[in-house]
Structures are given as C-alpha cells and as structure tokens.
Amino acid sequence: MPLWVLITVCAALFQTWRTALQQKLRGQLSLNGAAVVRYLYGVPVGLLILGSYWIIFGGSLGPPSWWFLLLCAGAGITQIWGTNLLIASFGPRGFAVGTAYSKTEAVQASIIAVVLLGEVLPALAWAGIGVSVFGVMYLSLAGRGMTPREIMLATVQPAALLGISAGFFFALTAICVRAAVIELPGGDVLLKALFTLVVTNTLQTIMQGSWLLWREPAQVMAVFRSWRTSAQVGALSAAGSACWFMGFALAPVALVRTVGQVEILFTLAFGRFFLKEALKPKDVLGALLVVSGVVLVLMGGY
C-alpha cells in the first residue's frame, strides 16, 4: 500500500474524531470561537509533530519565499471561508443537502489541479472520483427520500449553493497547500509539508484570532476557559491536518481527496459500533459506492 494512502486514511479518521469531539463546544463558543480553537491549540501540537519528525529523520529546509507565505495564507483563509460556508449551509432542513454538495470538493479539486498545477489523471481515476462522490451524496440525501429529480432541483437551493461553494474553497485550500510544499526549498517533502502546516495554522490563528478580538472580544476568554475540550480538538485537528498536508505532498490532490472520502465510512462505523445504530440498506449501498470509487482511483492513479 502506498504511504500516501495510509496517511490519507489516518487523516480521515482524525477528522471524524475531531468533528465528534467538537460537538461538545456547541453552545459554549460562537462559530468563529470554535474555529479559532482548531488553530490556536493546534499550533503547539503541530510544532511538536514537526520537531519530532526533524529529530528522528533529520533534513533541512531553505528560506521560505514571500510566495510560499502567500500560498500558506491563501490556504488558511480559504479553509476558514469554506468552513463558514459549510456551517452556513446547515439552515433549516439544509444539513444533508449542504453536506452532500460540499463533498463535490473532490471533483472540483481535480479540475482546479488540472488547470493550475498541470496534474494529469487517467480515465479510471476520473471514474473513481465520480463514483465516490456519488456514493457520498447518496448517503447524505437518500435518507431524505429524495428522487433523482428532486436531487437535481436541490442544486439551486441555498443550502446546495453554499455547500458547493464550501467545496470549492476546500478544494482551493488543498491546491494552495500542495503549491506551497512545492515552492518551499528542501529535499524531504514530508518535512516541507509539516513546516507548511505550522506556518499555515499560525497565520490562521492570527487572522481569525484578530477577527475574534475585534468583533467578538467576549469570545476570547471563552476560548481559553474551554481549554480542556478545545485542547483536544486542537490536537486532533493538528494531527489530521498533518496527515492531509503530507498526503498532498506525496500524491495528486484529487486522489488524496477522493481516498479521504472514507471519512464517511468511519462515521457509519461510529454510529454502528458505539451508538448501536442499525445500518440501513441505503447505508450499505452508499458505503459500497464510496469504497468502489476509492478502489478505482487506486487502480487508475497508482
């Protein structure tokens, strides 16, 4: 199994775990406050991961350029925008629609990577991307009893438009990260990826932290008062982001994001084995579609 596949699966697992834990912060912090804890408490953990890797494997990096820093800032701000748009899509009865259409990120990332990074994917990989995205959308929308016509009509609903926009900005985040890793001088791509993570999270802390201090000053103390849960969220966020960044450094963005769709399988597993929820036929079918898409990507991509 290629290293990037194992790293991407770990990224999806950490992300699912972080999302579940972050639910504890609902009601304690505002949208921006909950977002800041991911970066503020994630930076020390990111530094620990970077330092540990450097001590164990060694390596060196060249001086970062202004273009590298701009790409890191771009990755940071697009992730913030994507997260806010995704949450905004969770309006009345819009959660499933917004989530489903945000998962078009894999397709959008593929197209953007072809245009901006010149990445070339074989036809089988494109087919796998399509099947995987369809499987995720089916899992999200089939439970609503929507027909194919209703699903098509849903694309013009605000929740869907916001979800698609969120997917677009998440795709841009991945593109900026990969471009930043390529731009940074150095021979070890994993070391470059981890350094990029620390720089990006630091810039995100400054950007969203400044906004919080300006517009929601009361939330600043709330962020520190919730440190027990927030620190865990930040640690999981840093671990997940480290895996995503390393995955983007090792393989094309489109392939990494498609394999990362296994996140929804972890969600189903959590519901089945920890919450004792019974799997429905549509859950099994959707999971099979996601897995089939990932297999096609692996067969066609590497």
Q: What mean pLDDT value characterizes the chain?
A: 83
Q: Which of 30-34, 117-121, 228-232 has the highest mean pLDDT?
A: 228-232
228-239 confidence digits (pLDDT tens): 888 998 999 999
C-alpha neighbours within 13 Å on the C-beta side of residue 216: 17
76-94 confidence digits (pLDDT tens): 999 999 888 877 776 645 5
Question: Residue 89's closest CA among 169, 149, 18, 21?
Answer: 169
Q: 10 Å Cβ neighbour count for 116?
A: 14
Amino acid at 46: G
Helix, strand and coil content of the chain, in percent to the nearest 5, comes to 80, 0, 15
Which residue is it, tokens 């350094």? 195
d(CA 181, CA 179): 5
Mean pLDDT value of segment 151-167: 74
The residues, ordered by sequence, that sit 6+ positions from 152 with a Cβ below 8 Å of its Cβ are: none
- Give the CA angle between residues 159, 15, 84 to the nearest 5°: 35
Q: 10 Å Cβ neighbour count for 78?
A: 20
pTM: 0.85
Q: What is the DSSP letter of 157?
A: S
d(CA 235, CA 241): 10
